[in-house]
Structure 1
């Protein structure tokens, strides 16, 4: 549901052990391509498992630093996400059921017409 891959879990566990790190440091530690780590970090940040901030570099510029969100906050965020997903799924099921009932009603109305037939599996 949240789309966390095996690589994403490795990245997350690495950060839980280190406390905070950059994409380059994680890529080096795990032996994974930096762009793959970057995609995973962005996804984990998007779903609320990690926080991202900028660290200014002495030589100029900045680097993104990632850190794990406290477990209770992750639990809260994932619960909110799960409830939203469940609500959306129930809306879809309700819509499909309405369409099915409408189609059955139309088929019943056309019972005298041999061309009108509907078949629902399940």
Structure 2
């Protein structure tokens, strides 16, 4: 079995955390430029700030990034975004894979109880 690591990691991340291509692009951008403001990210990925903000919110909800703020000398504040530490990221991925594995084993057990016609109906229902 050939394992194309980069492709599999990208697909696993997108599926595990329900991410879009842009969400993943922003996450990778944060791995490279850490920390970054929404303005910096917007410029780096070539998307407007409102689009980037939506992706950042999703990444925050999924627990993949953290947000901190800096108080500006001129008043106000600015948010800075950064990826979670790698060990936390790895733990989240391991938990997700374990959940998938349990769900897959349960699905296989259910399939074993069905006859050929039942399996066909089950598979057709997801197409």
TM-score over 0.5 (shorter chain): yes
Inter-partner Cα distance in structure 2 for 1:49 and 1:20: 13
Aligned position for 1:112? none
Q: TM-score, normalised by structure 1?
A: 0.65
SS of 1:64 mapped into structure 2: strand
Inter-partner Cα distance in structure 2 for 1:84 and 1:18: 31
Matched residue count = 103
Whichever of the two has the greater Rg, that structure is: 1
SS of 2:67 mapped into structure 1: strand
Query: Which of the numbers 45, 59, 63 marks the counterpart of 2:74?
Result: 59
Report deviation, 1:70.
Answer: 2.0
Query: Which of the numbers 75, 85, 89 marks the counterpart of 1:74?
Result: 89
Unaligned ranges ≥5, structure 2:
1-14, 111-116, 121-127
Inter-partner Cα distance in structure 1 for 2:39 and 2:73: 17
SS of 1:20 mapped into structure 2: coil
Unaligned ranges ≥5, structure 1:
98-118
RMSD: 2.9
